[in-house]
Amino acid sequence: MKQYLLSTFLLASVTIFAQAPKLEKDYNTVADKVIEWRRDIHQNPELGNREFKTAEKIANHLKSLGIEVQTGVAYTGVVGILKGNRPGKVIALRADIDALPVTERNDLPFKSTVTADFAGETVGVMHACGHDTHTAILMGVAEVLSKNKDKIKGTVKFIFQPSEEGAPEGEEGGAALMIKEGVLENPKVDAIFGLHINSQTPVGVIRYKSGGTMASSQRFVINVMGKQTHGSQPWGGVDPILISAKIIDGLQTIISRETKLIDEPAVITVGKITSGVRFNIIPESAEMIGTIRTLDYDMQKFINQRMMEMVPAIAKAFRGEATITIDNGTAITYNDPDLVVQMLPTMQRVAGMANVQTQKAITGAEDFSFFQEKVPGFFFFLGGMTPGTMESYPHHTPDFLIDDSGLLLGVKTLTEMSLDYLGK
């Protein structure tokens, strides 16, 4: 299997280098730069809405290429506008630039040792989701396209977006704020492309899905009220911890017994529960916070309705009270089917037919979805796992690793998709 994957990777590399001969010199020139940028950004990560040095690095690079630059968009976002030598449509390319409150655990020479304040605590900061690779890739695309304005029929808008992982408490941020501040206007965007590195997809492989690709994300908060009593006399009170356990159990039956999972997957997860101060006191209240993931809006509406009905009813059955609020996070990441059909031949030409693969929808969420609500969009996944690797680490973990030899394929794919879309 290892030999097969390595052979596949080598064949893909040969295929890639056989394509786009007119741009090959520019790709070769930028290849090492992309890796250098990625490693520098990885070593100096910044949390959402605080990406000051990252934004400065991006802006300086774009300005050096003669690209019109806007800074301070949605706090720390950077937007570059590159007009081709011929008139035409406007395409946007998006990369997210923020890191996560995760302490890195590996021996990389460019390992992050950065710490920052997050929700009142000092935490390690790490690019544990690969946004450093997205940023470096788009910087590379900008360099290649800026040298080939004669091939651009229209305009390319480079969107470097902060706070994809969520804005700090009490702040707006991310794609929604960029849209609110007009990032898709002046000039008006006709279509948008984005990619996400994947630590469990081999280098050289691109995966995609037409239609619903990533789930919508909602946040819910449940507050349970009971009656405090001594831990040795539970009959003297109403136990909110017991009620919370019953509510969690009930919520899972919405998924396992009431949701038609053969249509689309769905998830309800309670990620945090807070209650009590001492081992021998049954407390007065409990709070639960969690997430809902759906890939169909009718299914989302049904799940929300059942949660609103079930939570207070379960609490009442055990002599307590409970309230629930549900907040919308991200929308469904929806790849426009016509745009997918249009751009699939480009992806296959660049990566090789066998290396462009379809995949099932995933329950992770992406605020790229907000752009797709406004204009047709195509979001795909780029391999970042060393071929033949027996174990890879998931995103958002301290051991997360990316093989940066796969970044050039991202540069080539976004560049060629841009030129082909505008050319057509």
pLDDT, tens digit, for every residue of 378-415? 999 999 999 888 789 999 999 999 999 999 999 999 99
| Highest CATH level, class, for 216-330 | alpha beta
Confidence label for 362 from pLDDT (cuts 50, 70 and 90): very high
pLDDT score at 10: 40
Q: What residues contact residue 55 under an 8 Å CB cut-off, 6+ apart?
A: 71, 76, 77, 78, 97, 160, 162
Asked if 2-214+332-423 and 216-330 have one fold, the answer is no
Active-site option among 46, 51, 96, 98: 98
The residues, any chain, with a CB within 8 Å of residue 219's CB and separated by 6 or more, are 289, 290, 291, 292, 326, 327, 329
Would you state the pLDDT for residue 21?
61
Cα 165 to Cα 360: distance, rounded to the nearest angstrom: 23
Number of residues in the chain: 424
Average pLDDT score over the chain: 94
CB 165 within 8 A of CB 365: no
Q: Which of 26, 143, 164, 366 is catalytic?
A: 164
| Residues 213, 42, 142, 147, CA torsion sign | negative
Residue 132 known to be catalytic: no
Could you give the count of Cα atoms lying within 13 Å of 359 in the half-sphere of its Cβ? 20
Q: Are residues 343 and 208 in contact, defined by beta-carbon separation less than 8 angstroms?
A: no
Rounded Cα distance, 41 and 131, in Å: 9
Q: Is residue 7 a contact partner of residue 388, using CB atoms and an 8 Å limit?
A: no
Asked if the model's pLDDT at residue 6 lies above 50, the reply is: no
Backbone angles phi, psi at 270, to 5 degrees: -90, 115
Q: Does domain 2-214+332-423 have CATH number 3.40.630.10?
A: yes
Q: What is the pLDDT of residues 199-232, one digit of tens each?
A: 999 999 999 999 999 999 999 999 999 999 999 9
Show me where the domains of the chain are located: 2-214+332-423, 216-330
- What tokens does 157 get? 């808008």
User: pLDDT by residue (tens digit) across 72-90?
Assistant: 999 999 999 999 999 999 9
Q: pLDDT over 90 for what percent of the chain?
A: 92
Is 164 a known active-site residue?
yes
Arithmetic mean of pLDDT, 236-242:
98
- How confident is the model over 289-307, as a mean pLDDT? 97
Beta strands in 29-107 (DSSP E): 68-73, 77-83, 86-96
